[in-house]
Structure 1
Amino acid sequence: MMGGNRVREECITMHQPWASLLVHGIKRVEGRSWPAPLRGRLWIHAASKVPDSATIKAMEDFYREIYAIHGITDLKFPDRYPVSRLLGCVEVVRLEALTDFCWLCEQPQRLFIPLEMRGYQGVYPLDKKMVEAAIRGLALVQCPQAVKFPLPDAHDPFSLKPGSISLKYPEYKASKVELSSSLIAVIVGATAAATQFSKKNQTHQATQPM
C-alpha cells in the first residue's frame, strides 16, 4: 500500500503450522473470512500458540495427498514451526475464482533466522526497522512444484472472477476433471484453515497476545 511516496509493508499473523507451510511454498492459498486488502508483498508472522503434534501431522499428511495427485512424493516440510516470529513473505496476486476469499500466493521467501515480534489482528503495517532487518535475511524458496496463477479468462468458468488455479505445465490443461479435483481439494484445505479466524475466535483472540 502507498502513503504519499512511502511504501507501507503489510503483515498478517497466522497460526502454525499454516504460517510456515505458506512461507515454505507448500501452502499456496490462504483462506480468510474477508477479501485481500492488498496485492503485492505480504509478510507472514507466526502467532504465539504452539501447534500440537497431531495438527502438524494432519496438515503435513493433507499436503502430501495434494501433491501426490501430481506425482510429487518427496515434499520437504519445515524442520520446526516457530511461534511469535516473523517468518518471511509471499506475493498476494489475486483472489481465487470459485470462492469468496481465498488469497492466491506466489514467490514465497523465508527468513534464515525468524525474527521475534508480536503480532496483531487482521492485516497491519510492519515496523520500518523490522522490515529493514527482515529484507536483509530473506532467501527465495524452491517450491516443490512451480505454480503460476494466470490472469482471468472470460471463456473459462474457473476464472470469471480475478484469479484461478492452473499449473503452468501444458499436459495439465488437457484434463479439466483432474484440475478440478485438485483445485477443490486445495480450496477445502484453505477454507478449513480460515475457520480459525471466525468472528468467535477473533473475539477471543483480541484479548490474547499474538
Structure 2
Amino acid sequence: MTERNSWNYRNPCLTMHQPWASLLVYGIKRIEGRSWPAPIRGRLWIHAASKVPDEATVKAMEEFYKEIYAVDGIYDLKFPENYPVSRLLGCVQVVGCSKREELACWKEVSEGVRLEALTDFCWLCEQPQKLLVPFEMRGNQGVYDLERKIYEAAVRGLAPVESPLPIKFPLPNPRNPFSLKPGSIFARFPESKATEMEKSSTLSSAIAGAQAAATQFSKKDQSSHNDAIQNRNIINAKRIGQFESKSWENNKSPAGNFNKGSNRGTQLFVKQGQSSYSEHDGRISSHNQLPRAGSNQHLRPPSKIFTDAMRELRLS
C-alpha cells in the first residue's frame, strides 16, 4: 500500500486519548471510532494525548475487550503494562472506513470485531506496530503530518506487534485502497441486516461501560475535527492568495486594483463560496467581486499547487 495518502498527507498522525491509543497500537483495538470518516488510507501514526487516564476508564475498556474477545474464543489478553501520555506510540494501517450499522452486520468479519462498532464511523485498522521507545512530542487536532525529523526517527524504532486475533479486512476492490468506504458494505450486500446476537449480562455491562467511557470525548472529537478543517482551509487560502498575487503582478493588467481584487475574490471563495474555478480554462471568476480588466485580460493557467489546493477545499 502506498505511503501517500489523500488530502496530501505525507506522514499522517492522530492524537488519541489513553487507554484507546495504546490499545490500538498493541493490536487489541481494531476499530478506531470517530464522528467523521477516515480521510486517509495507509499508515497512520498514533500519538497519546496529555490527559492521564483515570483507573475507572482503563478498567472499563479492558473489561470491554476481554468480553468481546471471549466471543471469538480468545481469553488470554495481554494488556499494556502502562498507558503513557504525550508520547508517540507507534502506527497502524488504515485499510477502510464504514458506518456503524454496516460493520455491525458485516458477516465477513468476526463477531468480536462487529461488537466494536460503537461510533458513527469506524476506521478499520490492521498491522499494528509499536515504538520500542515511545518518545515525547506534542499532539495536534484532527489528522496532521508528523514533522520530518520526528518521522525519520520514529520509522527506525518500529517493531511489529502480535495481535491477539489478527484480522484482514477484505477490500471490495484490492486495486483501489478507497474502495472500502462508508456505504460500500451495504452496496455489496444489500440484504445485510444486523442480527442481535445473544449477549450475556457481563458482555452487555462491558459494552455499556465502553460506550460511557467513549462519550466523554465525542463532542470534543467533533470540535477538534472541525477546527482542523478550518485551519487547513485558512492555510490553503493563504497559499492560493500568494499564488494569485504573484500571477496578477506578472500579468501587468492595466487595472490598478486588479491584484487586490484577485486576492479578495480568492478569500471569498474559501469563506463564502461566491467564486468559482474552472479546471478547463484555468480561470477564476467571482460574482460581482473582481473588477473587469478588459476583455483580453485573462489569468495564467494555475499551477499544480493551486489546482491541488482547490481540490482539497472541495473535499472538505
Aligned residue for 1:46? 48
Q: 2:169 corresponds to which residue?
A: 149
Higher strand share: 1
Change (3 A) 1:190 1:143: farther
1:55 maps to which residue? 57
Distance in 1 between residues matched to 2:129 and 2:140, nearest whole Å:
21
Structure 1: gaps (5+ residues): 154-158, 165-175
Whose helix proportion is higher, 1 or 2? 2
Aligned counterparts of 1:190 and 1:114: Cα–Cα separation in 2: 28
* Residue 34 of structure 2: aligned partner: 32
After TM superposition, the structure 1 stretch with the greater mean CA deviation from structure 2, 75-84 or 193-202, is 193-202
SS for the counterpart of 1:131 is helix
Deviation string for 1:73-92 (max 9, x for gaps)? 11000010000000000000
Shift of 1:71: 1.2
Q: Is the 8 A contact 2:92 2:127 kept in 1?
A: yes
Matched, 1:198 2:219: yes
Q: Secondary structure at the match of 1:44?
A: strand
Aligned to 1:134: 154
Name which of 87, 90, 93 aligns with 1:91.
93
Query: In structure 1, which of residues 124, 128, 131 is the aligned counterpart of residue 144 of structure 2?
Result: 124
Equivalent residue letter for 1:114: P
Instruction: Determine helix, strand or coil for the equivalent of 2:164.
Output: coil
CA shift in 2, pair 1:160/1:117, >3 Å: closer
Structure 1 runs (4+) greater than 2 angstroms displaced: 96-100, 159-164, 185-195, 199-203
| Per-residue deviation, 1:162 | 3.5
Residue by residue, what CA displacement relative to the aligned partner does 1:7-54 show, whole Å, maximum 9, x if unpaired?
Answer: 710001000000000000000001111111110100000000000111
CA contact (8 A) 2:92 2:129 kept: yes
TM-score (norm 1): 0.75
8 A Cα contact 1:31 1:193, kept in partner: no
Residue aligned with 2:57, SS: helix
Q: Distance in 2 between matches of 1:192 and 1:55?
A: 6
1:181: Cα distance to partner?
Answer: 6.9
Matching residue's letter, 2:48: A
Unaligned runs of 5+ in 2: 103-119, 174-180, 187-193, 228-316
AA partner of residue 107 (structure 1): Q
Structure 1 residues 200 and 142: CA distance shift in structure 2, 3 A: closer
Return the offset for 1:115.
1.1
Alpha carbons 2:30, 2:124 under 8 Å: kept: yes
Q: What letter corresponds to residue 132 of structure 2 in structure 1?
A: F
Tell me the CA shift for residue 150 of structure 1: 1.2
Residue by residue, what CA displacement relative to the aligned partner does 1:88-128 show, whole Å, maximum 9, x if unpaired?
00000111253542100000000011010000110001001
Distance 1:151 1:191 in 2: 31
The aligned residue for residue 73 of structure 2 is 71
C-alpha spacing 1:20/1:75, structure 2 compared with 1 (3 Å): same
Q: Does the 8 A contact of 1:36 with 1:103 survive in 2?
A: yes
Choose 1 or 2 for highest CA Rg: 2
* Aligned AA (1:13): T
Is the partner of 1:118 in helix, strand or coil? coil
